[in-house]
Amino acid sequence: MDNLPPLREVINTHGLQARKSLGQNFLLDLNLTRRIAREAGVQAGVQVYEVGPGPGGLTRALLAEGADHVLAIEKDNRCLAALSEVADAYPGRLDVIEQDALQVDEATALAGSPNQSEAPCIIVANLPYNVSAVLLTKWLQADPWPPWFQSLTLMFQKEVADRITAKPGSKAYGRLSVLSNWRTSPRRLFDVSPQAFVPAPKIVSTVVRFDVRKKPVAPADVNALQAATTAAFGQRRKMIRSSLKSLGVSVEALLDATEIEPTLRAETLSVEQYYALARAYVALK
């Protein structure tokens, strides 16, 4: 696919032994990384924002699949020399910033990237699991909407992917399902077995793609939506008339305005009912 050395060799040459503290489980199978890139929609005419390139397995696939440009954010400076070899193999198409992705203002970083591209941007990342959930929430709360990216393709612990794609009435349905389905249409692409990573984690992973809805399913204030889902799912076994008390507004007025049955429980409310609750909450606050 390119003239770069195999990833195992890259890891040995640059001393990139995986660090648990950085959630490092590397993908060394370039067929798998190319599959992720393809199913994320990477092709010529697209630029990619990648978080956590590590030794560069997924980055190489993104470039080989034809991305006009990749901007990669990596916290571990041990990876920079290996990534600069990838940049040399794809001149003018890869920029790497050494930073914590949680601190990055992405629109500014993209605009300031030396080889910046005007092409539509998608996010593709194989991140540590704790960081992916936090970043997903940050990206889903982007303001303005539609945001600076068109889709996100991210690796999750299978159980988190189940929560993201869960439907009302199921055990896995929760805050992450409501928030994800509000502004995007999430769908599972495929599972990845532990053996595909070095070192192998204990759990199965799932790649999820989220396509941005240009218009959210219903207008709602993102902070109010977070407040309503936190209150409801924080006490998911209780009836909604009781769990919503923590919002600090009249629950009766909230339920009247939204025509929601007071005896329902959090997991049976539809995504639309949560938007309605968020809107009523803003009006009553």
* Interface with ligand SAM, residue 25, by CB under 6 A: yes
What is the distance between the alpha carbons of residues 243 and 268, in angstroms, rounded to a whole number? 13
Instruction: Give CA–CA dist 180/49, Å, rounded.
Output: 19
- Which residues are CB-neighbours of 128 under 8 A, at least 6 positions away? 22, 23, 24, 52
Query: Minimum distance between the CB of residue 130 and ligand SAM, rounded to whole angstroms?
Result: 9
96-104, 112-120, 205-213, 269-277 -> range binding ligand SAM (CB under 6 A)? 96-104
> In this structure, which amino acid lies at residue 173?
Y
Amino acid at site 166: A
42 binds ligand SAM per the rule CB under 6 A = no
State yes or no: residue 62 binds ligand SAM (CB under 6 A): no
Cβ proximity to ligand SAM: between 58 and 247 the closer is: 58
Does 83 engage in binding with ligand SAM (CB under 6 A)? no
- 232 lies in the site for ligand SAM, by CB under 6 A: no
Cis, bond preceding 144 (omega within 30 deg of 0)? yes
Among 32, 37, 40, 51, binds ligand SAM (CB under 6 A): 51
Residue 152 CA to residue 105 CA, distance in Å, equals: 16
Single residue of 57, 147, 174, 186 touching ligand SAM by CB under 6 A: 57
Q: If we measure between CA atoms, which residue out of 184, 194, 121, 120 comes closest to residue 157?
A: 194
- Residues within window 121-160 making contact with ligand SAM, judged by CB under 6 A: 126-128, 131
> Nearest residue to ligand SAM, using CB?
52
Shortest separation between residue 91's beta carbon and ligand SAM, angstroms: 21
Contacting residues for 205 by C-beta, under 8 A, at least 6 apart: 155, 156, 157, 158, 191, 192, 194, 197
User: What is the binding site for ligand SAM (CB under 6 A)?
Assistant: 22-27, 51-54, 57-58, 73-76, 79, 100-102, 126-128, 131
